[in-house]
């Protein structure tokens, strides 16, 4: 039991707790480069319901957060057009770690080191619930996707590509 308590004590879980948002905890064995598809498989969830947190940047190297289905890729062209940027690209892992305060593979949109705009693939918001990283590799939290809008100020975008 002590291990589970330790796993769930992250900046990413303190944020929803402080805002009285209930969530479920899902611990799994992390696999390097396994991503959302691995976590969905071992936890028995549809990868469409497992949301990955991606740290990207615009042409001026300003960071932003993109929330995307686990089995979809981001169309950076569509995203850039919708947010009024010339271009958008993924950050290098060490840059993403610096912006978010999390290690890649354990990045959560909650409790990030820097305040960054959050963009949510709009189809995520129609799901009854999602699994999203809880701020540590091998740890997801399940919650209502509307939290991404109400607490994070996430703006809906349509930028998903089939994986």
Q: What is the pTM of this model?
A: 0.93
State whether CATH 3.90.960.10 applies to domain 2-162: yes
pLDDT at 5: 46
pLDDT category, 7, cuts 50, 70, 90? Answer: low
Q: How far apart are CA 39 and CA 36, in angstroms?
A: 5
pLDDT category, 132, cuts 50, 70, 90? Answer: very high
Is the confidence at residue 67, as pLDDT, over 50? yes
3-state secondary structure of 50: strand
Cα atoms found within 13 Å of the Cα of residue 141, Cβ hemisphere only = 30
| Domain ranges within the chain, ordered by starting residue | 2-162
pLDDT at 9: 80
């Amino acid at each position: 039991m002590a291990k589970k308590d330790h796993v769930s004590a992250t900046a990413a879980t303190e944020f929803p707790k402080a805002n009285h948002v209930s969530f479920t905890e899902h611990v799994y064995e992390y696999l390097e480069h396994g991503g959302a598809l691995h976590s969905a498989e071992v936890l028995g969830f549809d990868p469409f319901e497992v949301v990955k947190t991606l740290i990207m940047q615009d042409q001026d190297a300003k960071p932003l957060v993109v929330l995307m289905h686990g089995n979809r890729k981001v169309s950076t062209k569509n995203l850039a057009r919708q947010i009024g940027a010339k271009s958008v690209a993924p950050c290098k892992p060490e840059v993403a770690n610096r912006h978010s305060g999390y290690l890649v593979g354990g990045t959560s949109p909650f409790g990030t080191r820097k305040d960054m705009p959050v963009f949510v693939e709009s189809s995520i918001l129609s799901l009854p619930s999602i699994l999203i990283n809880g701020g540590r590799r091998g740890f997801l939290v399940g919650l209502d996707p509307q939290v991404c809008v109400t607490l994070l100020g996430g703006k809906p975008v349509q930028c998903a590509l089939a994986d």
